[in-house]
């Protein structure tokens, strides 16, 4: 019975959630991120402002197109997820560049760590959110957040870009 409820819940969510964002939404997010980066740089000119993009839901293992219970997407849906991730990654890069901020590309670092990899940095679909202890689908794992934290620390250990003269 719980499996049937879970499948119905997944169909309900799937019918209301788009796997692909439209260009206007990405442009709006890019403009908002740029504004935040610029405001931070104005308020704290000596600070290092960092943008950290998203871990990919579909990495190298998932893009092979092998259907799996932990990633129940059709090839078309997998393509949408991949395109959305690429659009968002470009939006982060553009916002960082336009605002004079730095970018940490966890999207690239996480490509070999999707939900179907031997060392996942992001959860897959566990079958039911109603099951006690079930992971939230497509969210970072402890290993993933630890890796992101390490990437940030490594980045900060490097000298920052030269600050413009005041």
pLDDT > 80? residue 34: yes
Q: Tell me, what CATH number does 38's domain have? A: 3.40.50.1110
**Is 8 within a domain?**
no
Task: Answer whether residue 166 is part of any domain.
Answer: no
Q: Is residue 147 part of a domain?
A: yes
pLDDT tens digit sequence for 73-91: 778 888 888 888 999 999 9
**Does 127 fall in a domain?**
yes
User: Is the overall model pTM greater than 0.75, yes or no?
Assistant: yes
Residue 7, in any domain of the structure: no
> What pLDDT is stored for residue 2 in this prediction?
46
What local confidence, expressed as pLDDT, does residue 31 receive?
96
Nearest 5 degrees, angle CA 139-CA 144-CA 147? 150
Q: Which of 72, 63, 85 is nearest to 10 (CA)?
A: 72
- Is residue 9 assigned to a domain? no
Establish if 61 belongs to a structural domain. Answer: yes
pLDDT tens column, 117-152? 999 999 887 766 556 666 788 889 999 999 999 999
What local confidence, expressed as pLDDT, does residue 128 receive? 60
For the chain, the DSSP string reads -HHHHHHHHHHHHHHH--SS--HHHHHHHHHHHHHHHHHHHHH-TTS--EEE-PPPSS-TTGGG---BTTB---HHHHHHHHHHHHHHHHHHHHHHHHHT-EEE-HHHHTTT-STTSSS-SB----S-SSSTTPPPTT-B-HHHHHHHHHHHHHHHHSPPPPPPP-
For residue 29, give its domain range. Answer: 19-157
Tell me, yes or no, whether 66 lies in a domain: yes
How many structural domains compose the chain? 1
């Amino acid at each position: 019975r719980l499996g049937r409820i879970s499948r119905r819940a997944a169909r309900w969510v799937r019918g209301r959630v788009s796997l692909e964002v439209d260009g206007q939404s990405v442009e709006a997010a890019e403009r908002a991120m740029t504004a935040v980066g610029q405001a931070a740089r104005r308020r704290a000119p000596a600070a290092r402002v960092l943008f950290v993009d998203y871990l990919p839901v579909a990495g190298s293992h998932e893009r092979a197109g092998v259907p799996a219970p932990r990633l129940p997407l059709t090839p078309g849906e997998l393509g949408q997820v991949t395109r959305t991730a690429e659009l968002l990654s470009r939006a982060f890069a553009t916002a960082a560049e336009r605002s004079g901020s730095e970018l940490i590309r966890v999207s690239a670092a996480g490509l070999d760590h999707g939900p179907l990899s031997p060392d996942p940095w992001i959860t897959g679909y566990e079958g039911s959110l109603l099951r006690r202890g079930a992971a939230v689908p497509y969210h970072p794992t402890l290993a993933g957040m630890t890796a992101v934290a390490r990437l940030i620390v490594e980045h900060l250990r490097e000298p920052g870009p030269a600050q413009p003269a005041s």
